[in-house]
Structure 1
Amino acid sequence: MKVVYVSYDGALDPLGSSQVRPYLEGLAGRGVALSLVSFEKPARWRDAEARTSLAARLARHDIRWRPLAYHKRPRLPATGWDLLAGARAVRQEVERTGAGLVHCRGDVAMAMARWARLPPGVRILYDVRGLFADERVDAGSWAAGSPLDRVVRRVEAANLRRADGVVALTAAGLDALRRRRSELPPHRVIPTCADLSVFRPRAPGEPPDYGLVYSGSLGTWYMGREMVAFARAAAAFVPGRPLFLTPDVEEARRAGAAPDWAEVRSVAPAEVPAWLRRGRALFFFIRAVPSKRASCPTKLGEALASGLPVVCNRGIGDLDTILEGGTVGLLVDSFSEEDYARAARRLGALLRDPALPGRCRRLAEAAYSLESGVEAYHQLYLELRPAPAGG
């Protein structure tokens, strides 16, 4: 089977290395002939060593790479230029390889495929990474009903109408898509997954060095001050200093993660798994706006794979369902001191259960492993495979 994979994120970006390349390598291992069209940031493209290393790695997996230049400013003309360049590249790759399926990661990639004037019979998989217009409104980037908002929503609607297959990150996100198109084409819920060979629990008998751990960027969606307040409240119930692993060190300090009680570190992505293993539990609070029902934080699968329970607030993706039972983590009902103390007390009790790391790991293996994600994509590819000519 031949597939053209389109990503508006760069293969050289951290996201590309964690959420694009591993899936492509897994699919290539299942016999899928892949061409990758990606948009690379100029600063990362200038790193000749990284560029050459990635090209060689993709070539070892027989993945053809068609990198294009990403343009950022001015925003609308730059994106329009990239759309045209992407549409042209997608069509060329389909014609060159004879691919019968174009896999589009996100709305911009999907628009490229729609504009590519693909040969008859070529199918398009719409891999929805979030409800983009809703997210921009929730973030305050633009107003609901503004001219830009209306244009983006028309693009999203056209993308969904054209899709021959759909992937959503969460069941709640899939429900939102059903409200926009009642009869969805073949579809799957595939959450953001983790490489279980990289994210793994501590060795038996190895003591943790930290208590609560936060991992990731801060700002926009993540509630830094509330997370700091919870970490302080949890200190009486969760042994060990809290650890904030974030590139936004100064923002963490401004939120109140002071050196006298919390550790804040910026580490390379490759070092994150080892640091996670040194904690007792992962926690994060995200603004529970409507668009976040379609989100699945990458750190969820990474924590569970590392044997860590997860603490978060309600209203994010499918986490209410996943954590409600309290066997692999728990939900904080509100951002009050009373609910912080109640959740911290429950977490302290949960951490005393010696079977906890194993339960977390088993859930990761069942639902958040890279292997399970690759297999889900492969099965959907097979379902969307064009029928043989004359068949």
Structure 2
Amino acid sequence: MIKQVLYISYDGMTDPLGQSQVLPYLVGLSKEGFQFTLVSCEKRERYNTNKSIIEDVCFQYNIDWKPIFYTKTPPIFSTVWDIIKLNKRAKKLHQKKQFQLIHCRSYIPSLIGLAFKQKYGVKFIFDMRGFWADERVDGGIWNLKNPLYKQVYKYFKKKEKEYLTHADKIISLTDNGKKEMLNWEILNLHADKITVIPCAADYNLFELVTSDKREKAKYNLNVNNDEFVLSYIGSLGTWYLVDEMLLFFSILKSKYQDAKFLIITPDDKKTIYDLGRKYKLEPEDFRIQFVQRNQLPMVAYASNVSIFFIKPSYSKKASSPTKMGELLAMGIPIICNNNVGDVEEIINTTGGGFCITEMNEANFTKIVDSLEQFADFIGSHVREKSRDYYDLQKGLNLYISVYKELF
């Protein structure tokens, strides 16, 4: 019997997330005999640049990729238009292929998953990727004082309950998120229905840092090997506390005068330089660049320590920062804050760095004074311990067991 699966993602496969967090799983599941049709929303510019990479992977593993284009503006109405396009594409494909399972990544695709479950009896996986509606509010994207956003929020909170009630399986990124959902007392929601699979890291790509790799990476950045490098990886958007990270670096710099802040980001350099001046930081204190994912380790190896501070909020109980697994895989120590998903537990279990409970100058100074202890940091131990959480193969095995239960 051909096991026909429709996978819908509102993230594009030509986006970095699609390449790191979706395709590797679909490739692995395809090898287990599942026949995928993949519908994704692609941003035109990225699609034009990267489509051949995705087409090659899909061709090699017999994944039938049927992308549509993402609509950016106007807010809300553009999303409604995308939902209409996704639904039309999904229905047409179902007429042809008669899917037995629909796997929906996050809340918007799950509108279609729920409809397929109720109308056609297709089994439905709600792969939730966090508390999406609450994230929009906590991140200031939806202002509930605006009646339109308030209605949209209420609509998706109602749908969230329906997804949790009717889905055959639910994927949560964190144990913290799973525990929170079980407190909601939702009909037909029980612990066995929820599988926890964090954002995975590719341990083959993110190899262990060595002193030679670090020295070479620093040299390529025009940094002396004895100069301390603090790094940050990723966009500096809604959730990241840029001011607090710059304050931390300014305190670090008072002890390590030659320290550099390596920021690997697609964001504008000038914005970062302007923010830095508030903390008496000059452009020469930074190394800012963007690299493709497959080149990321070669640059990140320059890091003595990496940092990320995330705005703590209710919705972040369900978040799993992708960069965390990748840094631990490379054996690079992390400085981060608590009240974000399972971050604190993972730092404590792996010995992967410091998890701050309060972000203030006094605490930052204490941590800067403790950085010498990383001289004894054994990256290989941290890498191996982190596999329990982030190894792509472990995540794939969990997905395989979920799929086998449904077929």
Most deviating of 92-101 and 357-366:
92-101
**Aligned equivalents of 1:353, 1:177: Cα separation in 2:** 40
**Aligned equivalents of 1:260, 1:78: Cα separation in 2:** 41
**Aligned equivalents of 1:79, 1:273: Cα separation in 2:** 35
The reply on whether 1:297 has 2:326 as its aligned counterpart is no
Give the letter aligned to residue 248 of structure 2.
Answer: F
Partner residue, 1:215: 233
Partner of residue 18 from structure 1, selected from 17, 20, 36: 20
Q: State the percentage of identical aligned residues.
A: 31
**Aligned equivalents of 2:179, 2:358: Cα separation in 1:** 25
How high is the TM-score relative to the length of structure 1?
A: 0.90
Give the letter aligned to residue 244 of structure 1.
Answer: I
Shift of 1:384: 2.0
Q: What per-residue deviation string (whole Å, max 9, x for no partner) do you get for residues 47-71 of structure 1?
A: 4xx3234223201111111112222
Indicate the SS of the match to 2:67. strand
Partner of residue 334 from structure 1, selected from 358, 361, 371: 358
Partner of residue 323 from structure 1, selected from 347, 351, 358: 347
Q: What per-residue deviation string (whole Å, max 9, x for no partner) do you get for residues 175-203 of structure 1?
A: 22223326336221111111111111224
Partner residue, 2:106: 106
Q: What per-residue deviation string (whole Å, max 9, x for no partner) do you get for residues 134-169 of structure 1?
A: 111112223448222212212222222221100011
CA contact (8 A) 1:223 1:287 kept: yes
Shift of 1:230: 1.0
Partner residue, 2:270: 250
Structure 1 pair 165/238, CA: closer, same or farther in 2 (3 Å)? farther
CA contact (8 A) 1:24 1:34 kept: yes
Give the letter aligned to residue 245 of structure 1.
Answer: I
The reply on whether 1:200 has 2:212 as its aligned counterpart is no
Partner residue, 1:9: 11
CA contact (8 A) 2:117 2:124 kept: no
Give the letter aligned to residue 268 of structure 1.
Answer: Q
CA contact (8 A) 1:329 1:347 kept: no
Shift of 1:295: 0.7
The reply on whether 1:176 has 2:194 as its aligned counterpart is no
Partner of residue 403 from structure 2, selected from 375, 381, 384: 381
Shift of 1:271: 2.1
**Aligned equivalents of 2:161, 2:383: Cα separation in 1:** 38
Gaps of 5+ in 1: 386-391
CA contact (8 A) 1:200 1:305 kept: yes
Partner residue, 1:345: 369
CA contact (8 A) 1:126 1:159 kept: yes
Shift of 1:40: 1.6
Structure 1 pair 53/331, CA: closer, same or farther in 2 (3 Å)? closer
Structure 1 pair 326/105, CA: closer, same or farther in 2 (3 Å)? closer
**Aligned equivalents of 1:111, 1:119: Cα separation in 2:** 12
Indicate the SS of the match to 1:228. helix
Shift of 1:237: 6.4
Partner of residue 167 from structure 2, selected from 154, 163, 172: 163
The reply on whether 1:124 has 2:109 as its aligned counterpart is no
CA contact (8 A) 1:301 1:364 kept: yes
Shift of 1:118: 6.5
Shift of 1:45: 3.4
**Aligned equivalents of 1:362, 1:260: Cα separation in 2:** 36
**Aligned equivalents of 2:258, 2:335: Cα separation in 1:** 16
Aligned residue pairs: how many?
A: 381
How high is the TM-score relative to the length of structure 2?
A: 0.87
The reply on whether 1:186 has 2:193 as its aligned counterpart is yes
Give the letter aligned to residue 253 of structure 1.
Answer: Y
CA contact (8 A) 1:90 1:116 kept: no
Indicate the SS of the match to 2:65. strand
Moved over 6 A (4+): none
Partner residue, 1:389: none
Partner of residue 384 from structure 2, selected from 358, 362, 384: 362
Indicate the SS of the match to 2:87. helix
Q: What per-residue deviation string (whole Å, max 9, x for no partner) do you get for residues 233-280 of structure 1?
A: 234269852311122222322221532333222333332111111212
Shift of 1:372: 1.3
Indicate the SS of the match to 1:335. coil
Structure 1 pair 22/213, CA: closer, same or farther in 2 (3 Å)? same
User: Which structure has greater helix proportion?
Assistant: 2
Structure 1 pair 17/206, CA: closer, same or farther in 2 (3 Å)? closer
CA contact (8 A) 2:350 2:382 kept: no
Partner residue, 2:45: 43
Indicate the SS of the match to 1:3. strand
Partner residue, 1:135: 135
Give the letter aligned to residue 399 of structure 2.
Answer: Y
**Aligned equivalents of 2:38, 2:55: Cα separation in 1:** 11
CA contact (8 A) 1:238 1:348 kept: no
**Aligned equivalents of 1:370, 1:326: Cα separation in 2:** 17
Most deviating of 115-124 and 183-192:
115-124
Shift of 1:31: 2.4
Partner residue, 1:388: none
CA contact (8 A) 2:214 2:301 kept: no
Structure 1 pair 77/242, CA: closer, same or farther in 2 (3 Å)? closer
Indicate the SS of the match to 1:34. strand
Give the letter aligned to residue 304 of structure 2.
Answer: R
Shift of 1:325: 5.8
Partner residue, 2:224: none
Shift of 1:361: 0.9
**Aligned equivalents of 1:380, 1:188: Cα separation in 2:** 8
**Aligned equivalents of 1:223, 1:36: Cα separation in 2:** 35
